[in-house]
Structure 1
Amino acid sequence: MRRAPQDNDNNPPEPDDDADDAGRPSKSALKRQMHSLQSLGQELSELPASRVAKLDLPEALRDALAEYRRTRSHEGRRRQLQFIGKLMRQTDEAPIREAVAAAKLGSAKETLALHEAERWREELLASDDAITRWLNHFPETDAQQLRSLVRAARKDAKAEAPEQRHGRSYREMFQLIKTALAATAAPQPEDGEPGEDDDDE
């Protein structure tokens, strides 16, 4: 009986793209790592200064980031970013990645909150039923103020002049909605004064 040929008997093992024969990272692996660190460096440079100040970064990296922000030419920024990538090879990147991820998450949450406020505003302008639903969801809202703003914003929407259609009431509605949404997301709003909820008017 004839045996089927065994592939693993004669075929040499495929080379590992990420390491050479001595177990060192290959050129392509090093290149990928460098590009990754450069991208991380660029994201780090875009963080608010207050967030960057909290990170334990080497002075050389802080200086390089400051220089990158000052540089205006495309080629100059590209070279500076390469330098930042090299510096980051000697830096613990884990806290930096955490800070960048936290900033992205915060930005995404803010965007979602703005979209939610805009959605509610359009619904309130479109239907009295939406006002009832809003007051059921947010009973702390001053119902009289809300109805007054909705009436005024609806009236402005019918104005002949385009600049009058989204007037003061339209903007004040947005602020009222945004504040209410933020209050439900955070148990203790930063701009609230300490005291009992019953005393709020």
Structure 2
Amino acid sequence: MTEYDDQEFEGKSKTQLKNEMQDLQQLGLKLVGLGPAALAKIPLDGELSDAINLAKRIDRKKEGYRRQLQFIGKLMRTRDVEPIQQALDLLENKHQQATAQFHKLERLRDDIVEQGDSAINQAIELYPDLERQKLRQLSRQAQKEAQQNKPPKSSREIFQYLRQISEQ
């Protein structure tokens, strides 16, 4: 065994440090890309917030912008970035959840138009505030429009109604 093998590596390699710094710069880039309302939801201290706002002002002026992003990464090295990352993930996840909800309502609408009463019963189980008679009427109209190759006005109304009730 050599002396080199006996040493325990307590520190990180240069590559690991460099990758961590690049990750922090990418996190800073995401923060710079956020709008004011979304940025307000992220837990930032004053110095980091000022650096992000400055980067927004010098946005895309090549060298100055790049140096400002490096500075933001440097500031983030001395801070706990876990709460910042969690808040950013939560913001990104809200968009995915909204998209998933949108697709769920589209499928429910399509089922109501195609299957009629059985799908209406399932929809009422999911959303008890729905009016059965209104859904039946819109479903029949949507089926008639589909048979006559007319624009799907009633189908759109079903979707709007489902979305309105699901948001309550």
Which TM class, normalised by the smaller chain length?
0.7 to 0.9
Contact 2:25/2:69 (CA < 8 Å) preserved in 1? yes
SS of the equivalent of 2:129 reads coil
Q: Deviation of residue 159 (structure 1)?
A: 5.1
Q: Which amino acid aligns with 1:165?
A: P
Alpha-carbon distance in 2 for matches of 1:177, 1:45: 36
Q: Deviation of residue 90 (structure 1)?
A: 2.8
Write the mapping of 1:14-25 to structure 2, written as runs, cut at 5 A.
23-25=10-12
Alpha-carbon distance in 2 for matches of 1:56, 1:12: 43
- Determine the structure 2 residue equivalent to 1:49: 36
State the number of aligned residues. Answer: 166
- Determine the structure 2 residue equivalent to 1:165: 151
Contact 2:41/2:87 (CA < 8 Å) preserved in 1? no
- Determine the structure 1 residue equivalent to 2:134: 145
CA displacement, residues 97-120 of structure 1 (integer Å, 9 cap, x when unaligned): 121122133222222211111110
Contact 2:29/2:69 (CA < 8 Å) preserved in 1? yes
Q: Which has the higher helix share?
A: 2
SS of the equivalent of 1:92 reads coil
Q: CA RMSD in A?
A: 3.1
What is the TM-score when the length of structure 1 is the normalising length? 0.65
- Determine the structure 1 residue equivalent to 2:27: 40
Alpha-carbon distance in 1 for matches of 2:145, 2:53: 47
Alpha-carbon distance in 1 for matches of 2:106, 2:66: 39
Q: Gapped runs of 5+ residues in structure 1?
A: 1-8, 183-188, 190-201
Q: Gapped runs of 5+ residues in structure 2?
A: none
What is the TM-score when the length of structure 2 is the normalising length? 0.76
- Determine the structure 2 residue equivalent to 1:174: 159
The one of the two structures with greater contact order (alpha-carbon pairs below 8 A, sep at least 6) is: 2
The reply on whether 1:112 has 2:97 as its aligned counterpart is: no
- Determine the structure 2 residue equivalent to 1:135: 124
Contact 1:47/1:103 (CA < 8 Å) preserved in 2? no
- Determine the structure 1 residue equivalent to 2:76: 88
Specify whether residues 104 and 141 from structure 1 end up closer, same or farther in structure 2 by C-alpha distance, changes over 3 A only.
same
> What is the aligned-residue identity percentage?
35
The farther-off stretch of 65-74 and 95-104 is 65-74
CA displacement, residues 150-173 of structure 1 (integer Å, 9 cap, x when unaligned): 22333333454xxx5233x32221
Specify whether residues 103 and 54 from structure 1 end up closer, same or farther in structure 2 by C-alpha distance, changes over 3 A only.
closer
Q: Which amino acid aligns with 2:143?
A: R
